[in-house]
Chains A and B, each alone.
Chain A
């Protein structure tokens, strides 16, 4: 893969990941979000955050299994989009659902377990977004950076649990997300269990 092709691939991801958000905004502007637009926007952005979290976690296994090393370029973009949609999800809840009431939002978050789990998932993503630049990777050092970015697993688990908890009765979709996440995390567990033994020091 040469530099121009890589640039093209980057643009492809960057643009396509923005499309759902742009369409959501366009449809909102044209009053095309149905009877309960606020709820529709909250559900959509939440779902998009989950989808992008899972896509982010898919990059590494896909890269190792397929040998397409170059696809690693997409991980940061996908992760940042997950953060973007999750932030939007929270901001719509805070503004249009809670009417910009800080105390109202905080009270609900402490009282409702699913909201508490959700905000944990979002907060955990903040340091990941902040340290996503090349300069920050250099400053932290690869090893520490990778350790920190395992928080993405926590964010994804919190996101799926948050979704499962708020559904009234039909849990098929949350369970589908949970199953995909289980496969993605299970793969990492397998890799970790089968890692080559580290040579003892001093030998």
Chain B
């Protein structure tokens, strides 16, 4: 019985040390793998982050005079509800030209350049004209309009827009008597708008309003948010805001406004006619085929709030739709 003791061999690690080292190594692998999994999770699934900065607008009319304040409440220009933060407005929205991910739009649009922007106003008008952006904005000073924004996806915001009523532009070009509708068109440029390289929607994005809707003082041609120029992700340099309609009616990055005789086609109506109508007025009683429109998630609030008829603008716009079956004309 003279076998050498294995454990005394200096070349062989003591079992206690060996198992300790093994345990140490395994703990290390566990921790490293958890960190890696966490990094992958955050990489694949993160909300939007980042700071958006644009130039302040010159000559913005913000505070209405006391006598005007009462008028503003009646005309719906300044809704008395807490404004959604600039951060949320600029990092959570739909703009399929850049991304179908609401939280991915801001990053995808960050480098969008609007230099040399022109807007053609044409069709059934006395004075058709191609405006430079500066000429178009010079028609009227920007006013602050604090509107509710209700997305067809059942979330909502309160946004302090800057702009002027579309009617002021239309008055400049003078629609002919034969004009009954206004058709709008967004920029088509897959180089600058990466979302247009796929065919998720028919490009360019087009929208339309009845002429009386377009002439309503609430219908806004917006060039700013929070007193600053529109950031690319929110439709720079010029977009439409129709506060009593679902958000998709508010066409962004407009290059063409055409007065026409017949109801124009609209992008979401083309994509899914049974889900998105031409009118698309906010209506809590008419559900989207796949989800309820009765309530909404106001961004920045917990819990849901009831959705209001015409998004709370029934007093201002209800008369436009007397006699119209809103269930048929959703």
Tally of contacts, chain A with chain B, CB under 8 A: 81
Q: Out of B96, B290, B292, name the residue touching A114 (CB < 8 Å).
A: B290
Determine the interface band of chain B, counting residues with CB < 8 A from chain A: 35 or more
A70-124: which have CB < 8 Å to B?
A: 96-97, 99, 108, 111-114
B-side contacts of A165, CB under 8 Å: 290
A36 within 8 Å of B (CB atoms): yes
A12-46: which have CB < 8 Å to B?
A: 12, 15-16, 19-20, 23, 32-36, 38-40, 44
B37 within 8 Å of A (CB atoms): yes
> Is A170 in contact with B30, judged by CB distance below 8 angstroms?
no
Docked Cα-Cα span, A111 to B26, in Å, equals 51
A-side contacts of B319, CB under 8 Å: none
A-side contacts of B48, CB under 8 Å: 34-35
Q: Out of A36, A113, A166, A169, name the residue touching B155 (CB < 8 Å).
A: A36
Docked Cα-Cα span, A166 to B154, in Å, equals 13
A-side contacts of B29, CB under 8 Å: 8, 12
Docked Cα-Cα span, A23 to B96, in Å, equals 29
A143 within 8 Å of B (CB atoms): no
> Is A16 in contact with B200, judged by CB distance below 8 angstroms?
no
Which of B60-68, B203-211, B256-264, B299-307 sits within the interface? B299-307
B147-184: which have CB < 8 Å to A?
A: 153, 155
A168 within 8 Å of B (CB atoms): yes
Beta-carbon nearest neighbor of A21 in chain B: B41
A47 within 8 Å of B (CB atoms): yes
Docked Cα-Cα span, A24 to B213, in Å, equals 44
> Is A20 in contact with B201, judged by CB distance below 8 angstroms?
no
Beta-carbon nearest neighbor of B31 in chain A: A15
Known: A19-B34, A44-B45. A39 touches B292 (CB 8 A): no
B302 → chain A closest CB, angstroms: 7
> Is A16 in contact with B33, judged by CB distance below 8 angstroms?
yes
Known: A34-B91, A38-B297, A112-B290. A12 touches B30 (CB 8 A): yes
0/1 string, A134-166, CB within 8 A of B gives 1:
000000000000000000000000000000011
A-side contacts of B91, CB under 8 Å: 34-35
A-side contacts of B299, CB under 8 Å: 35-36
Q: Identify 16 residue pairs between A and B in the complex whose beta-carbon atoms are under 8 Å apart, listed by A's number.
A: A15-B30, A19-B34, A19-B41, A20-B38, A20-B41, A35-B47, A36-B155, A47-B45, A96-B303, A97-B297, A97-B304, A99-B303, A111-B292, A112-B292, A166-B290, A168-B153
